[in-house]
């Protein structure tokens, strides 16, 4: 099969229809489950709207309108698209189009999470090397000390690494605000536990330029044009080689 010199890379083209992420599209191509104009697709090939693309036996539908949602995830909701899991985020939102979360929030954490049908933006936002800010308000089980705040901000040894320096400030006797630029698995909980504290409540209040604001628990809204323009500007120089962030607190 001859690969056209122009067009859109096949994995990106598939992800833009909203059926899966670009990485998932790569796996489907590798497994021989994608064909272009009746022939088995090749990794890296480029396609256009004129091509007939079949994925897992089904013709690829036209690209839907791009959807970008901000959702206030309540406690108990699991950030998975697997609808066999009770309390999954897809059923919780019940949006009319297929969407998937950008990153994750632990089942027992609350707050802001993005969902979209745009697989391309998922990869860009989740790149570890891009240092996009995520802000949290955290309650712990006992009074906070100055040493705790200093240690959290300086870096804590977890998961065979040391967390990046970050901004931390005390809010009350047993709560603090923290801004992360990485997303190690259950990072904040592991950091606090290492220092002898236990998280009793964790709420993500901001991702990049978008704040939770007055969005009530369980509600969602579409990101507005201004918010999306700012996000796109932040993503212009996004790394294309760094690994994706776990982004789970």
The dihedral through the CA atoms of 116, 120, 125, 127 has a sign that is positive
> What are the tokens at 71?
């959702």
Count the Cβ atoms, other than its own, within 10 Å of residue 70.
21
Do 151 and 195 contact (CB within 8 A), yes or no?
yes
Which residues does the annotation mark as catalytic?
106
- Alpha-carbon distance 187 to 246, whole Å? 9
End-to-end CA distance of the chain: 45
Do 200 and 141 contact (CB within 8 A), yes or no?
yes
Q: Are strands 110-116 and 100-102 parallel, antiparallel or unpaired?
A: antiparallel
> What are the tokens at 193?
């536990």
């Amino acid at each position: 099969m001859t690969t056209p010199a122009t067009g859109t890379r096949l994995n990106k083209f598939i992800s833009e229809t909203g059926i899966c992420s670009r990485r998932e599209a790569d796996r489907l191509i590798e497994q021989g489950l994608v064909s272009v104009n009746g022939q088995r697709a090749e990794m890296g090939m480029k396609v256009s709207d004129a091509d007939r693309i079949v994925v897992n036996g089904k013709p690829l539908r036209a690209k839907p309108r791009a959807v970008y949602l901000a959702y206030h995830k309540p406690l108990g909701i699991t950030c998975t698209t697997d609808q066999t899991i009770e309390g999954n985020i897809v059923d919780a939102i019940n949006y009319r189009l297929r969407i998937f979360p950008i990153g994750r929030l632990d089942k027992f954490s609350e707050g802001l999470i993005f969902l979209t049908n745009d697989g391309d933006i998922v990869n860009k936002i989740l790149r570890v090397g891009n240092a996009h800010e995520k802000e949290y308000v955290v309650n712990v089980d006992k009074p906070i000390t100055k040493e705790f705040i200093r240690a959290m901000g300086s870096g804590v040894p977890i998961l065979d690494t040391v967390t990046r320096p970050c901004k931390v400030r005390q809010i009350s006797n047993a709560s603090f605000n923290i801004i992360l630029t990485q997303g190690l698995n259950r990072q904040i909980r592991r950091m606090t536990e290492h220092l002898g504290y236990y998280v009793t409540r964790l709420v993500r209040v901001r991702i990049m330029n978008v704040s939770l604001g007055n969005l009530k628990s369980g509600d969602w809204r579409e990101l507005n044009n201004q918010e999306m323009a700012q996000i796109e500007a932040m993503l212009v120089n996004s790394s294309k080689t760094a690994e994706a962030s776990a982004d789970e607190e």
